Amino acid sequence: MTTRLSRARWLALLLPAALLAGAWGFQLIGGLYPCEMCHWQRWPHYAAVAVALLAFFAPPRPARALVLLAALLIAASGVIGALHAGVEYHWWQGFTGCTSTVSMTGMTAAERLDAIMHAPMVRCDAAQWTLGGVSLAGFNAIVSLLGAALVAWLGVKAR
């Protein structure tokens, strides 16, 4: 029981943390700008990390519930990733327009116009990076959904 719960806790923490680290690495080191749907995929992972951390400090029964909640959050990111991948592959229409990386705070009108004109536009319907035809959103969907299933299985078996 304790071993499975411990594994579930660690996987519920490390899986979304690793996926977030990968996303931030592609952004900060690889120079890929996230679109709006990319950001949507990150929010459940942030929540899953927080919930999984709480599971380490909870007694076994509440910890199990927290691990299952983390699994649901990880799965939610996977579902958003699958929706985003479908938009990138043009299987269906996207939910958002393009995203700009410009921050408008503390700028004059001329500076704002210049920033807008030189900012990269990030389209939700165009994959910036693929490997074997699978985009980052597709990889997030695959890893998140499979990982969430494993976390949930370990959490349920931890009775």
* Within a domain: 146: yes
**Which structural domain, as residue segments, surrounds residue 149?**
2-94+123-157
Put residue 31 in one of left, alpha, beta given phi > 0 → left and psi -120 to 50 → alpha.
left
DSSP 21-41: HHHHHHHHTT-PPP-HHHHHH
* Within a domain: 110: no
* Within a domain: 133: yes
Quote the pLDDT of residue 120: 67
For 17-55, the pLDDT digits (tens) are 999 999 999 999 998 888 889 999 999 999 999 999 999
DSSP code at position 98: -
* Number of domains making up the chain: 1
* Within a domain: 104: no
For 43-92, the pLDDT digits (tens) are 999 999 999 999 999 999 999 999 999 999 999 999 999 999 999 898 98
* Within a domain: 105: no
Q: Global pTM? A: 0.83
* Within a domain: 106: no
Buried-exposed string 21-32: b where 16+ CB fall within 10 A, e elsewhere: eebeebeeeeeb
* Within a domain: 18: yes
State the virtual CA torsion across 11, 14, 15, 19 in degrees, nearest 10.
Answer: 180
What is the distance, to the nearest Å, from the Cα of residue 86 to the centroid of all Cα atoms in its chain?
A: 16
* Within a domain: 83: yes
